[in-house]
Chain A
Amino acid sequence: MGQKKWREARPREDYLRILNPDGSVNGAVPQVADEELLRWYRAFIETRLLETLGLRLQRRGVLSVAGTSLGEEACGLGAAAALRPGDWLHPSYRQTSALLYWGVPVDRMMASLLGHAPEHIAQHLPIPPDLAPKVRLTPYPIFLGANVPLATGVAFADKLNNRPNVSLVFIGEGATSEGDFHDGLGLAGVLKLPCVVVVQNNQWSISVPSSRQTAAETFAQKAVAHGLPSHRVDGNDVFAVYAAVQEAVDRARRGEGASVVEAVTYRMMDHNSADSASIYRTDEEVEYWKSLDPLDRFERYLVARGLLDDALKQQVRDEAEPQLRAAISRARAVPPTPPESMFLNHLNGDPGWTFRHQQRECAVELAGGNPFVDFTGEGL
């Protein structure tokens, strides 16, 4: 293990901040109904609870790998809250809050983390049509930049058919170094697509600091060369994220094209359970960011507004935790994915002779037979 750590510069704080770390506000708070604010609060709490339970399951060996979005929840939440039914959401792996806000079923999320095949999950954890998320989702790509061109295509299809939908895509600051990010922004600019790209700048791409991703002063600046407007906001301030993304979404819906929003936040935990952030960054840095926690300040705001008290805090947790545990139990009760399911949904229609032959070989092997005894191609 190396002794040297990165010395990461603190990001500039001359961004849009509405909600201060102490819960006070600067300027106008976005118009959000009280009931909606409590929906946000519940999604916040559910996200923390679920990710904590996920980490525990990883430590007990139930999940092979788990990550969290601790400290970054306001980015996914504030942005997702600016969408409306029919819109597209292209998440990365750090927007659990966005998924929970839109009601993505936790049992399915967990079954996926458990390594079940999608067909198997759909079969064992069906979603009643009225409970299906009302935004359309694409699975997160491991290479986060890959989502940006995809999101432009979805947005283009909506635009060409005069459907008033917006496509919201999340990537990290590291993925803005990928060509895909610029490929997508170029298309979104030239074709004036209803697309909003949120760069969730959590300062670290696994072990490489954001200062190692670009010599530009901010990630929002990367929009300039593509002719796109951009906002840079305090990503730990759910109101700032919401206000900026809402403005971008409204603009896109009016047919005025795409925008970029850089949400400046911090990855409080390891990249995931396979990482050890203490190797490459200092405790002092993490301590500083603790003081900027997005949930703490949102709670303070809600308390000051009289919308939240200790009893309600407890009630929200008491309601969320059993539901999450029940969803996890349902996921864990799904029987093992039959290995043969790897051959499903490879192509529409006949997948071909070699494919069918291999499928048969696999079945023979699983049944304890010898799959190598066909010397004529006539079958096993």
Chain B
Amino acid sequence: MSEEMNLIGAINHTLRQELSRDPAVRLVGYDIGPVGGMFRATEGLYDDFGDERVIDTPLTENGIMGMAVGMALAGERPVLEMQFLGFMYNAWGQFIYNCANLFQKTGGMLKVPLTIRAVFGGGIKPLPFHSESTEAWFMHTPGIRVVCPSTPREAKGLLSAAIRSDDPVIVLEHAKLYRAFREPVPTEDCVLPLDKCRRVQEGRDVTVLTWGNMVHTSVEAARLVDASIEIIDLRSLAPLDVEPMLESVRKTGRCVVVHEARRTAGPGAELVALINEYALQWLKAPVKRVTAFDVAFPENQTEEVYLPGVPRVKAAFEAVLAYEF
């Protein structure tokens, strides 16, 4: 059985299903109660599950991060909503000292089955610090998993898996994808692996490594070039599912990394380094990174030039296709 859902609908449906399935699942955050979340991810859940399952908290990202970790240590499976990824800077202390650290520091004696949902990414012209793409910082932090769904079905599978995982898992939900399109989402249990990438389309000439909203930008750009483009949606940013990516690059000999994060020391830097170390001899062109620029996220009028768009991605495809050693 499946139902047509958009991504925010799939999140709401999954949270409802997980709350029903396991009494240890508790949603924690601010503006998640009666109002149902800034994007309505938790709409109706406060009414149906009550204030001990859908818990509106004071406005303290650091406090609720630490509290959710404590709840997780004591047998709960909290799902913490960081309203926007840019608000998580305030929670950095608790995130590093407790969330990411405790399982490793205690040699596995304390587990932290915590899911952190955060809205990330640009393109909806909101207020400052509502469009951040700082996934590289999380990839640089040992002891956590980071996933990023790019479609409603993916959202259900990855969020369900995150909630059932015994590790801290960050689920990055792209704001622009929430209501972008609908697709059939299974209404029964649907749990995807947390550490596997997904081939969106098969191709022979260029491999694209991307995630989130940039999956869709890349698909569109691929239609505009006269070449066969293979697109891989990373889905899991930590840990990286390296082998399928290397395999694809060995096949195509060309690679473009597309992400919304800033370029320097961004996720693409790690991906290019892996290709350099383990697939250099198969390359027909240098690997290019299509990214945002190394500036603070700009004002709304400028965001479309700051973020990678279809023309920029297409230009990168053309450049690597034309390159000759």
Asked, given contacts A139-B102, A183-B63, A187-B63, whether A146 binds B93 with beta carbons under 8 Å apart, the answer is yes
Interface segment among B106-114, B129-137, B216-224: the answer is B106-114
Is B143's CB under 8 angstroms from A153's CB?
A: no
Q: Is A184 an interface residue (CB 8 A)?
A: yes
Is A183's CB under 8 angstroms from B279's CB?
A: no
B25-80: which residues lie under 8 A (CB-CB) from chain A? 26, 52, 57-58, 60, 62-76
Q: Is A377 an interface residue (CB 8 A)?
A: yes
Number of B positions contacting A (CB below 8 A): 55
Is B109's CB under 8 angstroms from A187's CB?
A: no
Please measure, in the bound complex, the distance between the C-alpha atom of A374 and the C-alpha atom of B144, giving whole angstroms. 27
CB distance from A142 to the nearest CB of B (A): 8
Kindly report which residue of chain B lies nearest to residue A351, judged by CB atoms. B239
Is B66's CB under 8 angstroms from A180's CB?
A: yes
Asked, given contacts A118-B109, A352-B239, whether A146 binds B98 with beta carbons under 8 Å apart, the answer is yes
Q: Is A152 an interface residue (CB 8 A)?
A: yes
Interface residues, chain A, with chain B CB atoms under 8 Å away? 88, 117-122, 138-139, 141-143, 146, 148-158, 160-161, 179-180, 183-184, 186-187, 190-191, 344-355, 357, 374-377
Number of residue pairs A-B, CB distance < 8 angstroms: 164
Give the chain B neighbours of A375 by CB distance below 8 A: 277-278, 280-281
Q: A118-B105, A122-B107 are in contact. List 15 more A-B contacts (CB 8 A).
A: A117-B107, A141-B98, A149-B67, A149-B69, A150-B66, A153-B72, A154-B73, A156-B70, A156-B71, A345-B104, A347-B145, A347-B239, A348-B103, A353-B240, A353-B243
Q: Can you list 22 A-B contacts (CB < 8 A)?
A: A88-B74, A118-B107, A119-B108, A122-B107, A139-B102, A148-B66, A150-B69, A150-B73, A152-B70, A153-B66, A153-B70, A154-B74, A180-B66, A186-B60, A186-B63, A190-B57, A344-B107, A345-B107, A352-B239, A375-B277, A376-B279, A377-B242
Is B70's CB under 8 angstroms from A151's CB?
A: yes
Is A143's CB under 8 angstroms from B67's CB?
A: no
Q: Is B89 an interface residue (CB 8 A)?
A: no
CB distance from A358 to the nearest CB of B (A): 11
Please measure, in the bound complex, the distance between the C-alpha atom of A306 and the C-alpha atom of B102, giving whole angstroms. 46
Give the chain A neighbours of B291 by CB distance below 8 A: none
Kindly report which residue of chain A lies nearest to residue B166, judged by CB atoms. A348
Please measure, in the bound complex, the distance between the C-alpha atom of A118 and the C-alpha atom of B104, giving whole angstroms. 9
Give the chain A neighbours of B243 by CB distance below 8 A: 353, 377
Please measure, in the bound complex, the distance between the C-alpha atom of A146 and the C-alpha atom of B65, giving whole angstroms. 11
Q: Which of A149, A186, A354 has the most CB of B within 10 A?
A: A149
Please measure, in the bound complex, the distance between the C-alpha atom of A374 and the C-alpha atom of B246, giving whole angstroms. 14
CB distance from B211 to the nearest CB of A (A): 16
Q: Is B241 an interface residue (CB 8 A)?
A: yes
Q: Which of B67, B143, B274 has the most CB of A within 10 A?
A: B67
Kindly report which residue of chain B lies nearest to residue A195, judged by CB atoms. B70
CB distance from A73 to the nearest CB of B (A): 26
Q: Is B115 an interface residue (CB 8 A)?
A: no
Give the chain A neighbours of B277 by CB distance below 8 A: 374-375, 377
Give the chain A neighbours of B98 by CB distance below 8 A: 141, 146, 149-150
Asked, given contacts A160-B52, A346-B143, whether A153 binds B71 with beta carbons under 8 Å apart, the answer is yes
Kindly report which residue of chain A lies nearest to residue B70, judged by CB atoms. A153
Please measure, in the bound complex, the distance between the C-alpha atom of A347 and the C-alpha atom of B246, giving whole angstroms. 23
Q: Is B248 an interface residue (CB 8 A)?
A: no
